[in-house]
Structure 1
Amino acid sequence: MTATHSFSTLIPDTILDAVESTGLWSDSRIYSLNSYENRVYQIGIEDGSPVIAKFYRPDRWSKAQILEEHSLLLKLQVAGVPIVAPLMFEGKSLFCHKGIYFCLSPRLIGQHPEADNLDQLYQLGELIGQVHKEMSAVPFSERISVSPLMQMDQATSQILSHNLLPEKLKPLYKKQINKLRGMSEASIKAYWPTQLRPVHGDSHRSNLMLHEGQFHLLDFDDCQNGIAVQDLWLHITQTENPQQQLSEIIEGYETYMPFDIRELGLIDVFKSVRVICYAAWLQNRWHDPAFVKAFPWFDTENYWLNHLNELKNCELEWENMSR
Structure 2
Amino acid sequence: MEQSVDRLFSEDLVHKAGQGYGADTKEYRKLGDFESYIFEVSYHGKPTILRLTHSSHRSPGQIEAELEWVNYLHQNGVNVSKPYSSSEGSYVVTLPVEGSFFYASLFEKAPGNRIEIQSEMFNDNLFYEWGRTTGQLHRLTTSFEPSGVKRPQWDEEELLYPEKVLPFTDLQFNKVADQLVHTVKSLPKSKETYGLIHSDIHSGNFFLHEGKLQLFDFDDSQYFWFVHDIAIPIYYSAWYKFQNGNKQERTEFSKVLLEQFLKGYEKEFHIDHSILKKLPLFLNLRDLVLFNVFHKKMDVENANERFKALLGEIKGRILSQDSIVDLNV
**Equivalent residue letter for 2:267:** T
Selected match of 1:155 from 153, 162, 167: 162
Structure 2: how far apart are the matches of 1:229 and 1:106? Answer: 28
Distance 1:6 1:125 in 2: 36
Aligned length: 299
Partner of 1:259, secondary structure, is coil
In the alignment, is residue 83 of structure 1 matched against residue 83 of structure 2? no
Q: Rate the CA distance shift 1:309–1:54 in 2: closer, same or farther, 3 A.
A: same
How far apart in 2 are the matches of 1:223 and 1:18? 23
Shift of 1:114: 5.1
The CA distance in 1 between the partners of 2:113 and 2:152, in whole Å, is 30
Helix, strand or coil: the match of 1:92?
A: coil
Could you report, residue by residue, the CA deviation over 1:81-115 in whole angstroms, capped at 9, with x for unpaired residues?
A: 10001112353211112331101112224322454
Partner AA of 2:38 in structure 1? V
1:12, CA displacement in angstroms?
Answer: 2.0
1:75 Cα deviation after fit:
1.3
Taking a change above 3 Å as real, the CA distance of residues 304 and 133 of structure 1, as seen in their structure-2 partners, is: same
Aligned counterpart, 1:108: 110
Which amino acid is 1:130 matched to?
Q
Give the counterpart letter for 2:165 in structure 1. Q
Larger of the two Rg values belongs to structure: 1
Match of 1:283 in 2: 295
C-alpha displacement at 1:11, in angstroms? 2.0
In the other structure, the counterpart of 2:71 is 74
- The whole-number CA distance in structure 1 between the counterparts of 2:184 and 2:155 is 13
Compute the displacement of 1:151 (Å): 5.5
- Residues 25, 42 of structure 2: 8 Å contact kept: yes
More strand by share: 2
Structure 2 gaps, min length 5: 239-248
Identity of aligned residues (%): 18
Residue equivalent to 2:250:
239
Deviates more, 1:27-36 or 1:178-187: 178-187
TM-score (norm 2): 0.78
- Cα distance in structure 1, aligned partners of 2:73 and 2:325: 39
Does residue 62 (structure 1) correspond to residue 69 (structure 2)? The answer is: no
2:284 corresponds to which of 267, 272, 275: 272
1:9-88 alignment runs, 5 A limit: 9-24=8-23, 26=24, 28-44=26-42, 48-88=45-85
Please say if residues 135 and 265 of structure 2, whose CA atoms lie closer than 8 Å, have aligned partners that are also in contact: yes
Question: What SS does the aligned partner of 1:55 have?
Answer: strand
Q: Is the 8 A contact 1:139 1:225 kept in 2?
A: no
Greater Cα shift, 239-248 or 35-44:
239-248
Q: Is the 8 A contact 1:109 1:211 kept in 2?
A: yes
How far apart in 2 are the matches of 1:100 and 1:63?
9
Is 1:123 the counterpart of 2:121? The answer is no
SS at match of 2:46: coil
> Following TM superposition, by how much is the alpha carbon of 1:184 offset from its aligned partner in structure 2, in angstroms?
6.7
Superposed CA RMSD in Å reads 3.2
